Structure 1
Amino acid sequence: MQGDNQQVQQAVQDLADKVAVVSGASRGIGAAVALRLAASGAKVVVNYRSDVEGAQQVVSDIESLGGQAIAVQGDVGISADAGRLFQAASETYGGVDILVNNAGMSIYKTLADFTDEDFSSLMNANLTGSFNLMREAALHLRDDGRVVNISTSVTRQMFATYGPYAASKAAVDQLTRVLAKEVGARGITVNAVAPGPTDTGLFRAGKSEETIARLEGMAALGRIASPQDVARVVAWLASRDAGWVTGQIIGANGGFA
């Protein structure tokens, strides 16, 4: 993570005195977002479901930058666990200003091959978890706060085997738009970032180099994203500069879709 740390040290400290909850932050995009927000001055609750070592490493990386963070275990698909993240943030740092809804999973199968268990697991992780945390944000986020949901650019494509996954994220997109209307009077903005292919362990699992090369070629910029590419967009949406942007689904995909 040394190279990542050097990049985030350059971030402007415009989130000083803010508190952020980042779900699924033990690796990949979530870890990059946690580091970026911390580099911008936020105190960060690093959520993880099972990867305690990864979460502790993210906390250590943040502390090495001079930031503050705690790791909190929880399955956000369980409403009580989602509430516990906000409770931990309030007890440790006094409240929550920023929610980044990143936790999720992928299952790539044709509709005919999807089992009931597959569908239930996917929707619980991607949709129910996001709903649970958005509900907590609506109840407990401080005025002028920020909600940033992680969606996907495949909602704009017709990729075989991506149906339920894209559907779960499309539902998150609509919750994003509706919540923006419901909390806007309090100065809270609610947006979603829709990445294209991003170079994480989850993305590379089960993909051949030929497949990855094909996906790189579909982007206007000719490559797949790094997690830091996505994290920079999330950090901007969490900043004061993005205070007039709400209810939007922003493609952070290098021209992929």
Structure 2
Amino acid sequence: MVNDDGSLSGRVAIVTGVSRRAGIGFAIAGQLLAAGASVLVHSWSPHDAEQPWGTDPVGDAGIVELLGGEGPRLRHIAADFADPQAPGDVVTAAVEAFGAVDFLVANHARSSNQTLAEVTAAELDLTWAVNARASVLLAQAFAAAHDDGRPGGRVVLFTSGQHLAPMSRELPYAISKGAIHQMTLSLSDALVDRGITVNALNPGPVDTGWAGPDLAASVGRALPAGRWASPGEVARLVRWLVSADSQWITGQVINAEGGFRRWVR
């Protein structure tokens, strides 16, 4: 079943990293639901609690309600991707809820700001496990569960700009995202004969509410539009990547950065 009319009716998606209203995952889930897809949203709010931005005041339950509430087309699961069994549990939950799975959008990420002088083995291991290992295991579980009688399987991964400019203040994050960049082509080759595409998206600077005023202004000056991308703009690109229109594109890392000029200070 491939919807050539642009709708995603009858399709089933997993979107990871849906824990904040300001986040990219929330926007992606909203876009896919609006297009007619059924969506399992994943979250792990304890990660947000450790970060400067904190958890969303509405909590996981409030996020799900804002997306329309759990029902025939929306389910939620909380899972810690530091646990190697969690990716399989997430895919199983989607199949149990909706009977199939067509799209995997691995949007989740562990943020980690450590320089070379600060970096620890424990943080390297944890960030790699959550960002890179979990993405591979999600793809593996998705592939095992996917019914190839339902054409149009899609995997969308998320990398960052570490391949375009150094990110020396957040080494564990940059290294783990670099692994996602490098795994994209090989995963796509593993699944292309089954009609499943695998692509990665580097969305560039996105306003999800985490940057302070100085950084927001500096990055804004480096973008020709004078502003950061919105989560909705990223979500619309993801919606296209899971649609029938993108079926001839696989193994690609897409830089959607609005002309970001990193040399501007």
Shorter-chain TM-score tier = 0.7 to 0.9
Query: Which residue in 2 is equivalent to 1:154?
Result: 162
Matched residue, 1:19: 12
Residue 42 of structure 1: aligned partner: 37
Alignment of 1:14-93 (within 5 A): 14-27=7-20, 28-50=23-45, 54-63=59-68, 68-93=73-98
Could you give the per-residue CA deviations for residues 34-83 of structure 1, whole angstroms, max 9, x where no partner exists?
Answer: 1111111110001012369543333323327x982011111233232211
- 1:140 equivalent in alignment to 2:129: no
Name the CA distance, whole Å, in 1 between partners of 2:90 and 2:114.
32
* Residue ranges of structure 2 left out of the alignment (5+ in a row): 47-55
Which structure is richer in relative contact order (CA contacts within 8 A, separation 6 or more)?
2
**Aligned match of 2:245:** 241
Aligned to 2:105: 100
Q: Is the 8 A contact 2:155 2:199 kept in 1?
A: yes
Match of 2:200 among 187, 192, 209: 192
Amino acid in structure 2 at the alignment position of 1:47: H
For each residue in 1:16-50, what CA deviation from the matched residue of structure 2 results, as whole angstroms up to 9, or x when unmatched?
10100111112211111111111111100010123
Show the counterpart of 1:127. 132
Whether 1:182 aligns to 2:190 is: yes
Q: Describe the SS at the equivalent of 2:100.
A: coil
Amino acid corresponding to residue 206 of structure 2 in structure 1: T
* Conservation of the 8 A alpha-carbon contact between 2:14 and 2:40: yes
- Choose 156-165 or 242-251, whichever is displaced more: 156-165
Q: Which whole-Å CA distance do the structure 2 matches of 1:181 and 1:79 have between them?
A: 24
> How big is each residue's C-alpha offset from its partner over 1:202-253, in whole Å with a ceiling of 9 and x where there is no partner?
x32xx3x122111111123221111111111111101111011110111121
Letter in 2 for 1:147: V
Q: Is the contact between residue 162 and residue 178 of structure 2 (CA under 8 Å) also seen in structure 1?
A: no
Counterpart AA for 1:117: A
Q: How far apart, in 1, do the equivalents of 2:35 and 2:235 lie?
A: 12
3-state secondary structure, aligned to 1:246: coil
Q: Find the counterpart in structure 2 of residue 5 from structure 1.
A: none
Partner of 1:226: 230
Percent of matched pairs sharing the same residue: 38
- Contact in 2 for aligned 1:21/1:46 (Cα 8 Å): yes
* Partner Cα separation in structure 2 for residue 256 and residue 114 of structure 1: 28
Corresponding residue pairs, total: 241
SS in 2 for 1:112: coil
More helix, by proportion: 1
Can you give the 5+ residue segments of structure 1 that lack an aligned partner in the other structure? Answer: 1-11
Partner of residue 213 from structure 1, selected from 217, 234, 258: 217
Letter in 1 for 2:64: V
CA 1:162–1:43: 2 relative to 1, 3 Å: same
CA contact (8 A) 1:155 1:169 kept: no
- The offset of 1:136, in angstroms, is 1.1
Please, which of 143, 165, 173 is the counterpart of residue 165 of structure 1?
A: 173
SS at match of 2:224: coil
Moved more, 94-103 or 12-21: 12-21
What is the CA–CA distance in structure 1 between the aligned matches of 2:192 and 2:72, rounded to whole Å?
Answer: 30
Kindly state the Cα deviation for residue 154 of structure 1 after the two structures are TM-superposed.
3.3
Residue 24 of structure 1 aligns to a residue in which SS? coil
| TM-align CA RMSD | 2.0
- Alpha-carbon shift at residue 13 of structure 1 (Å): 5.7
